[in-house]
Structure formats: structure tokens, C-alpha cells
Amino acid sequence: MLSMLISKMFEPEPEPISNADQAQQAIIAATSAGHLNQISSQALLANLNANTVPSTIGTQVQLLETTTPLVLCIVVDSTGSLAGFEDIIVKALNNTVGDFKLMRNKTGQEMYLCIIEFSNRGTGQYMRVIQDFIHVQDYCELTINDYQTAGRTPLNDATIDGITRTMAFGASTFAYGATGVQEVTIIITDGDDNDSQRTPADVAHFLVELNTKPNFVAAFVGVGNFPWMAVAKSMGFLDGNIVTVDKTATGIAKALKLYSSSVSSRSAASQAGKPVSSSGFFVNTP
């Protein structure tokens, strides 16, 4: 007996599971639970990479408080065409987080939030995580140092990767008791794609099955004078999930205020036991 105890004392500790492995296992488990179908699951698993695996998947998800969290991701353009708008965007993002904190305090709705900026600056890394998924109440205000503009627009790649990251984190909550997680990813851009490996048709194909899932939302905000409705629809975004705003401080602030109010409306409907849908996300237009 003593020799067995001594032997166990010197056994090597099991290697911790990687975030990528956790994401993979979470998606498979969420599929088994009926949260994802096989086609969506396969698309997400095929797209797990350095841009799409949440760094907090093994820590934040352990802090799950309820069975029906909201998993929210803001994927915001940071290309050179937004130079001069840095302060405006940072302020609007901070105001949105403030809205979510007030919402949580008022309704008790649990929310995880991630903010990612995207642009290709020739470094091989076109997505940069400003803050990975964390409870909104633990969020610290962003500063101008967190959001810099430069580079080209990999809109299609950023859309697929941002949604994959959201879904991977949402799937991981099932291992800790979630039963009704909702995932909402919003893409905000002022420029059409000019730097992706993937096409609008690839994005649309990626979204086909996910868009059939009531608890899933992919939303799109086009900033400035451009045929954004046609662009977003070619990418597979659904009716009621697309808005356009002026490229002004007021327009950008309105877009993010609309996002937070739409999340609040969706949460209220869900808490009241009303059905939700993958379309018709925005409660009104700015």
C-alpha cells in the first residue's frame, strides 16, 4: 500500500487541455445536446484556428451563473478608412458596455461579451482581440490605445471567424449547465471586402444552417454611403438584421445604441418565455 501511495505521488500531472481542444469538445457536446446541427457543427470545427478559439474558454465559462446566458461579440472594422474615428468608436463601444451593465443590474440577464477589431496590416494577423469573452460586469472601459486604425478590409474572413469564435464560446457553456444560451454576433464596417481569402458566397454558405437556429443571430451594420443592404444579403445576413448609418459620430453612436437596445429587447422576450428568431433582430432603425 505504501509503495502504491509513493508511486502515485510521483506520477506526472496530466497535461492541461488546450483551448483549441476545449473548443472542439464543446462544439461536439453542443451538437449532441441539439444546440447545433451536424452541418453547422462541421463548419465550425473546420474553422477552429488562432483567430477563432477564445482564450477565455477555459476560465470565464467556469464562472457561469445561469442556464440562459447571452454570448455577445462585436466585430468592428479598424481599417485605414476609419482614421479619425478612433475616439468616436471607443466611446460608442464603452457606452454599449455601460448599457449592458445597466441591463444586467436591472434584469439579472447574464452576459458574456467579446470585442474584436479587424484589418489586414500585412502582418498575417487580420483579427485582434480587444477583450475576449468576459462577464459584462467585469469589463473595463476601453481607451484609445485599444483601438488603432490601419490596413485593408478582410470583411468576409472576419465575419466567418468572428461568428465561429462566438459559437465556440457559446457551445462551451453547455459543459457547465447552460441549456438556453443565445449567441449574437454583430459585424460593423465602413468598407466592402478587399482582402479576404473567402467570398461573400462562402459567408452565405457558412450561415445557411446557423440561420435556422432561433437562438443564433448574425447582425450587420454598414457605415457610410454604400449599397450595404445588397452586400450584407449577398453574405447571407437575414432581413431585420441589417442596418446602415451615416459615417458620423451620431451615426456610429446610433448603431451601437440600436445594438444594445435590440439585445435588451431579445433578452426580455426570452425571459418572458416568448419565442425568438434568428431574423428581425434590430428593434427599429436609427
Q: Kindly report, residue by residue over 195-241, the tens digit of the pLDDT.
A: 999 999 999 999 999 999 999 999 999 999 999 999 999 999 999 99
Q: Is the pTM of this model over 0.85?
A: yes
Q: 200 near 235, Cβ under 8 Å?
A: yes
Mean pLDDT of the chain: 92
pLDDT at 1 over 60: no
Confidence of residue 124 (pLDDT cuts 50, 70, 90): confident
Q: 242 near 279, Cβ under 8 Å?
A: no
Q: What is the DSSP string of 163-178?
A: HHHHHHHHHHGGGGT-
DSSP secondary structure letter of residue 279: S
Give tens-digit pLDDT for 138-162: 999 999 999 999 999 999 999 999 9
Instruction: Give the pLDDT score at 180.
Output: 87
Q: Give ∠ CA 83-87-89 in degrees, rounded to 5.
A: 80
For the chain, helix (H) and strand (E) counts, in that order, are: 8, 6
pLDDT at 6 over 70: no
Arithmetic mean of pLDDT, 121-127: 88
Instruction: Give the pLDDT score at 7.
Output: 52
Q: Which residue has the higher pLDDT, 124 or 66?
A: 66
Confidence of residue 286 (pLDDT cuts 50, 70, 90): low
pLDDT at 280 over 80: yes
